Amino acid sequence: MYVRAKKSLGQHFLKDLKIAERIVESLDTSLTGSVLEIGPGTGVLTQHLVKIEGIEFKAAEIDTESIEYLQKNYPQIGENLLEGDFLKMDMNKIFKSDFSVIGNFPYNISSQIFFKLIDHKDQVPQIVCMLQKEVAERLASPPGNKSYGILSVLLQAWYNIDYLFTVEPGSFIPPPKVKSAVISLKRNSRDSLGCDEVLFKKVVKASFNQRRKAVRNSVKQLIEGRTPPDSYLFGMRPEQLSVEEFVELTNLIYC
Ligand code: SAH
């Protein structure tokens, strides 16, 4: 049996088995007793993950053909293969306790996957994933860098992010048009940001929606007629601001 790669599902199957091993080895299995793989496809990572002793393993896959392939080739997964759209799954029903996330993510929905994972950050201490190289760089980028953006701030608020290695298009069937990279995200020790977290997200999003402008202009609609104390932060552009400065800005707006 063979799974035809479907572009609409972001299917690029990793064929380099050494890289698959490296990705799985990057997962620290001592952090949680449970692991969720997003988009197992034809199981290049799954084949290793099902063998890790002492963990509860589940995988979420949307493609019926891949599901059939996995059930046939890795029957030991059984009920732990969840068929459906990860973006629509109820995370609280997947595992009862904390779980790590691993996967060669479908590149077309990788941002949406991260927005969902951020909403469950306290359940997810670790993420190891392959992404489009550009996106991986963006997420790991420090302030002051051109690629620093909304997800860099929202993820770096809660996770320490390491760029692990680059993967060339030729390592996949079919080869994607872009380079890929593997990153690791580990939950930092923050248990709160020290500001209204819903407003924080709004401030970050509004600021980067006009990334060339001083944040003063972008956050106007969030201030709603109040007069926040003046601060140099309002004169900065979003890409210059660290997580801590966005927190400060959020508190100024909320005053
Ligand atoms: N892990 C495999 C496949 C990576 S391609 C490998 O490394 O070879 C991305 C995989 O994500 C595909 O199997 C695709 O069917 C699956 N996928 C795409 N959108 C998805 C979604 N919304 N929910 C779950 N899986 C999805």
Which pLDDT score is estimated for 224?
81
175 and 245 inside one domain: no
Split at pLDDT 50, 70, 90, the class of 36 is very high
64 and 182 inside one domain: yes
Query: Which CATH number covers residue 26?
Result: 3.40.50.150
Residues 27-39: what's their mean pLDDT? Answer: 94
Which pLDDT score is estimated for 226?
81
pLDDT tens digit sequence for 139-162: 999 999 999 999 999 999 999 999
Task: Tell me which residues have their CB closer than 6 angstroms to ligand 1.
Answer: 9-14, 38-42, 44-45, 60-63, 66, 85-87, 104, 106, 109
52 and 173 inside one domain: yes
CA of 173 from ligand 1 middle (Å) equals 13
> Is the confidence at residue 1, as pLDDT, over 90?
no
DSSP notation for the chain: --PPP-GGGT--EE--HHHHHHHHHTS-TTS-SEEEEE--TT-TTHHHHTT-TT-EEEEEE--HHHHHHHHHH-GGGGGGEEES-GGGS-HHHH-SS--EEEEE--GGGHHHHHHHHHHTTTT--EEEEEEEHHHHHHHHPPTTSTT--HHHHHHHTTEEEEEEEEE-GGGEESPPSS-EEEEEEEE-S-S--SS-HHHHHHHHHHHHHTTTS-HHHHTHHHHTT--PPP-GGGGS-GGG--HHHHHHHHHHHH-
86 and 205 inside one domain: no
Residues 62-71: what's their mean pLDDT? Answer: 97
Nearest CA to ligand 1 atom 16: 39
> Is the confidence at residue 255, as pLDDT, over 70?
no
Pocket test for ligand 1, best of 3, 4, 9 (most atoms within 8 A of CB): 9
Query: Which CATH number covers residue 244?
Result: 1.10.8.100
Nearest CA to ligand 1 atom 20: 62
Domain that holds residue 225: 197-254
pLDDT tens digit sequence for 87-136: 999 999 999 899 999 999 999 999 999 999 999 999 999 999 999 999 99
14 and 133 inside one domain: yes
Domain end: 139, 162, 187, which one?
A: 187
CA of 209 from ligand 1 middle (Å) equals 29
CA of 115 from ligand 1 middle (Å) equals 17
Q: Per the structure, how many domains does the chain have?
A: 2
Domain presence at residue 2: no
151 and 37 inside one domain: yes
Atom of ligand 1 nearest to the CA of 86: 23
48 and 105 inside one domain: yes
28 and 136 inside one domain: yes
CA of 76 from ligand 1 middle (Å) equals 20
User: What is the percentage of the chain residues whose pLDDT exceeds 90?
Assistant: 93
pLDDT tens digit sequence for 208-229: 999 999 999 999 989 887 888 8
User: What is the percentage of the chain residues whose pLDDT exceeds 70?
Assistant: 99
pTM: 0.95
211 and 92 inside one domain: no
